[in-house]
Amino acid sequence: MKVWRTLGDWRAARGGLAGRSIGFVPTMGALHAGHRTLLARASAENDCVVLSIFVNPTQFNDPADLAKYPRTLEADLALAADLADHVIVPEAAELYPDNFNYRVTEDSLSRRLEGAHRPGHFDGVLTVVLKLLNLVQPTRAYFGEKDWQQLRLVEGMVRALLLPVEIVACPTERESDGLALSSRNRRLSPVARAQAGQFPRILRSAATAAAAMTELSQSGFEVDYVADEPGVRLGAIRTENVRLIDNVRL
């Protein structure tokens, strides 16, 4: 596994991969078993696997949330060592030489759900994903279905901008009690972590989105939203000031 910390070095290395299929897994680090699943699938389906680790500042509308985001680079590299061939660890100044003056904006889906509660979030997500896709030029890029809205928006961006990459959606990895794996889970106290297992259970069992919101509130969660989209129910809650999102198939 080779680690590239400057874009110039990475571009030179990328030139040596011509003719090989590349599977790309973009992340913000704090890797867990869910990320290993993405890397394993990329490894199985491509000649070469590229992982990026970058805590993207432009997708945080709350500076405190950005400051709290876990940065565990050495542990991340150890977790990925047997699956990733190349790891890109860029600096924000290199990825944003324009200071985010140029950005990607979607004017429909990105305004609802997560977008309504995190203004500007998806501008940051789509912009950094586009930059990374341009840098890596992968055959396939792998995204988890836990971030359902992000996945749909990335798929739409790829279609709209005619990008030559296949977006591969991978099922959500869960803990034994059903809670979706997330870097945010490690910020929960043992009590809140035990309680959080109710989140996916209620999303799945409630008769309606409104009923799910009521039951989640009664269970002690602060509920941002629960909403039904075609074939899927999405929700976002807060517990101990930690925000969790999830979705389940209907």
The predicted-structure confidence for 83-120, as pLDDT tens digits, reads as follows 999 999 999 999 999 999 999 999 999 999 999 999 99
- 177: its two tokens: 């009690």
Q: Are strands 86-88 and 2-4 parallel, antiparallel or unpaired?
A: parallel
* pTM for this predicted structure: 0.96
Q: Tell me the sheet residues that pair with 223.
A: 237
Q: Taking residues 199-220, what's their average pLDDT?
A: 98
Q: Are strands 232-239 and 242-249 parallel, antiparallel or unpaired?
A: antiparallel
Domains and CATH numbers, the chain: 2-170 (3.40.50.620), 183-244 (3.30.1300)
Vertex 212 angle, CA 208 and 216, to 5°: 175
The predicted-structure confidence for 150-196, as pLDDT tens digits, reads as follows 999 999 999 999 999 999 999 999 999 999 999 999 999 999 999 99
Residue type, 109: L
C-alpha span between 48 and 44 (Å, rounded)? 9
The predicted-structure confidence for 1-14, as pLDDT tens digits, reads as follows 999 999 999 999 99
What integer pLDDT is reported at residue 102 of this predicted model?
98
C-alpha span between 133 and 125 (Å, rounded)? 12
Residue 159, SS3 per DSSP: helix
Quickly state the pLDDT bin for 200 (edges 50, 70, 90): very high
Under 8 Å CB-to-CB from 166, ≥6 apart: which residues?
A: 139, 140, 141
- 17: its two tokens: 């991969």
Residue type, 201: R
Candidates 32, 35, 117, 121; catalytic one:
35
What integer pLDDT is reported at residue 145 of this predicted model?
97
C-alpha span between 1 and 153 (Å, rounded)? 30
What integer pLDDT is reported at residue 178 of this predicted model?
97
- Give Cα separations from 167 to 23, 112, 150, 205, 233 (angstroms): 10, 22, 12, 30, 22
130 near 13, Cβ under 8 Å? no
C-alpha span between 147 and 205 (Å, rounded)? 20
Quickly state the pLDDT bin for 243 (edges 50, 70, 90): very high
- 91: its two tokens: 């600096």
Largest separation between any pair of C-alpha atoms in the chain: 57
Active site residue 35: yes
What integer pLDDT is reported at residue 18 of this predicted model?
95
Q: Taking residues 207-228, what's their average pLDDT?
A: 98
Q: Taking residues 20-45, what's their average pLDDT?
A: 98
The predicted-structure confidence for 119-161, as pLDDT tens digits, reads as follows 999 999 999 999 999 999 999 999 999 999 999 999 999 999 9
Q: Taking residues 65-79, what's their average pLDDT?
A: 95
219 near 202, Cβ under 8 Å? yes
Q: Taking residues 64-89, what's their average pLDDT?
A: 96
Sequence length of the chain is 250
